[in-house]
Amino acid sequence: MKKLIEIKGLSKSFDDNLVLKSIDLYIRENEFITLLGPSGCGKTTLLRVLAGFEVADEGTVLFDGAYLDDTPPHQRQINTVFQKYALFPHLNVYHNIAFGLKLKKLPKDEIDRLVKEVLKLVKLEGFEHRNIKTLSGGQQQRVAIARAVVNKPKLLLLDEPLAALDLKLRQDMQYELKEMQQALGITFVFVTHDQEEALTMSDTVVVMRDGEILQIGTPEDIYNEPKTRFVASFIGESNIIPGTMLRDYRVKFEGLEFDCVDKGFNLNEAIEVVLRPEDIELKPATDGIVGTVTDIIFKGVHYEIIVDVKGKEYIIHSTDAQRVGDKVSLVFEKEDIHVMRL
């Protein structure tokens, strides 16, 4: 698919603080891409450079093949859904949504039609004359989305738009946003620190830390094959165990040797192994990795079980309960062993 945005060597610092370190990234047309990372990782700054609110110190951004760097925000075919919505409190729902259309000097009946259409899309039919202050958080969120997408931008930027909503509403909105993106055919760049959001909605996830991109991939790639310890621990819970790659498809950790699916390492290279909590099964102690159950917490769908293996704690998610003090063996398939370079 065609590249809509190309970011090349983008750097940005505030005072002495380097928040973006030579970022290279491209975004394809109609892609739902998520910038994921902890606060301070530079994801919001990157978004603001795309919107035109920040000017990069170095590097360039190509939009549809043309340089975007000197284009002021109001002349970009890009719209933003702001973190706290930034709805205009002096305007009602209709005039908030019509703000961009009026600036384009569209005829009144055209504006009426487009506003009606987009209100239907965000499920707020009949809300035209409502005051912004009388809307709930979820409704304000929808108005903010409507106000942006009504302008039919080529690129929609979303800056943690779901952060202020409660859990249930957030989950509903995740599906709706994904559906909307597919229906509208607009490229979405979504910024979040919530890994679940990122995995649920995205075509592509970009994991960032300290102004650098650590890994780019599909949600499955990022989850199943984290390249670094940080990605593994940031995306879901994981057990990270130091080990040695003996040769291709053979790994050693916890003093034992296992078959695995990874290759391409040096002989006896020191590595780290990721075992996801839900990939480990507990059996009555026989051989393999053996430990003692030290804690069990009911989490609703599953139990979180803590097993002590020679002083190291493993987290295991299982639908079967265990008794504290029981001796257990940790059992897993070779596909569940994810090997990371140090």
Partner 1 sequence: MNSVRRLVWPYLIWLGLLIVVPSVFIVLATISTFHIFNEYSFKFTTESLQFLRDPIFINAFRNSWKYAGMTTLICFFIGYPVAYYFARSENRNKTLYVALLIVPIWSNMIVRIIAWENIFKPVSIINLFGLSFDLIGRDSAIIIAMVSMYLPFMIFPIYAVLDKMDTALIEASRDLGASATQSFFKVTLPLSLGGIVSGVIMTLLPAMTAFALPERIGGGTIILLGNLIEKEIFRGSFSIAATVSFVVMIVMLGLFMLIIRFDKEGETLL
282 residue type, one letter: L
Residue from 67, 88, 175, 249 touching partner 1 (CB under 8 A): that is 88
Binder of partner 1 out of 18, 71, 99, 227 (CB under 8 A): 99
Q: Site for partner 1 (CB under 8 A): which residue of 9, 38, 73, 288? A: 73
Q: Of the listed pieces 31-39, 77-85, 179-187, 277-285, which binds partner 1 according to CB under 8 A?
A: 77-85
Element (H, E) at 234: helix 229-234
DSSP designation for 278? G
Q: How far is the CB of 164 from partner 1 (least distance, A)?
A: 13
Nearest C-alpha neighbor of 239 from the set 330, 292, 311, 315: 315
| 14 near partner 1 (CB under 8 A) | no
- Asked if 10 contacts 56 with a C-beta cutoff of 8 angstroms, the reply is yes
d(CA 18, CA 293): 45
How far apart (Å, rounded) are the C-alpha atoms in residues 234 and 7?
Answer: 25
Encoded one letter per residue, x for contact with partner 1 by CB under 8 A and - for no contact, window 301-330 reads ------------------------------
DSSP secondary structure string for all residues of 53-74: SS--SEEEEEETTEE-TTS-GG
Smallest CA-to-CA distance from 206 within 219, 187, 225 is with 219
Residues 100-139 as x/- pattern, contact with partner 1 by CB under 8 A:
x--xx-----------------------------------
Minimum Å distance from CB 146 to partner 1?
Answer: 12
Number of H helices, E strands in the chain: 8, 20
CB under 8 A: which stretch of 47-55, 191-199, 259-267, 316-324 binds partner 1? 47-55
CA distances (Å), origin 308, targets 19, 250, 305, 317, 325:
39, 25, 10, 14, 10
Does residue 265 bind partner 1 (CB under 8 A)?
no
Q: Interface with partner 1 includes 78 (CB under 8 A)?
A: yes
Q: Which helix (H) or strand (E) holds 113?
A: helix 108-121
Q: Number of residues in contact with partner 1, rule: CB under 8 A?
A: 25
Q: Check binding of 84 to partner 1 (CB under 8 A).
A: yes
Residue selected from 151, 192, 195, 239 as contacting partner 1 according to rule CB under 8 A: 151
CB of 73 or CB of 126, closer to partner 1: 73
Stretch that binds partner 1, among 25-33, 88-96, 254-262, 305-313 (CB under 8 A): 88-96
Contacts of 128 (CB under 8 A, 6+ apart): 92, 93, 94, 115, 116, 119
Nearer to partner 1, 89 or 311 (CB): 89
175/181 Cα distance (integer angstroms): 10
Pair of tokens at residue 53 = 């609110």
Distance CA 135, CA 140 (A): 6
Task: Pick the piece of the chain touching partner 1 (CB under 8 A) from 33-41, 58-66, 73-81, 176-184.
Answer: 73-81
Using CA atoms, how far apart are residues 287 and 331, in angstroms rounded to an integer?
10
Check residue 80 for interaction with partner 1 (CB under 8 A): yes
Q: Does 53 bind partner 1 (CB under 8 A)?
A: yes
Q: Is 72 in the site for partner 1 (CB under 8 A)?
A: yes
Say if CB 25 and CB 216 are below 8 A apart: yes
Nearest-approach distance from CB 32 to partner 1, in angstroms: 20
CA dihedral for 231, 233, 239, 243, sign (positive or negative): positive
Based on the shown chain and the rule CB under 8 A, indicate whether residue 249 belongs to the binding site for partner 1: no
Instruction: Name the segment binding partner 1 (CB under 8 A); options: 69-77, 108-116, 180-188, 206-214.
Output: 69-77
Interacting residues with partner 1 (CB under 8 A): 51-53, 72-75, 78-80, 82-84, 86-90, 99-100, 103-104, 147-148, 151
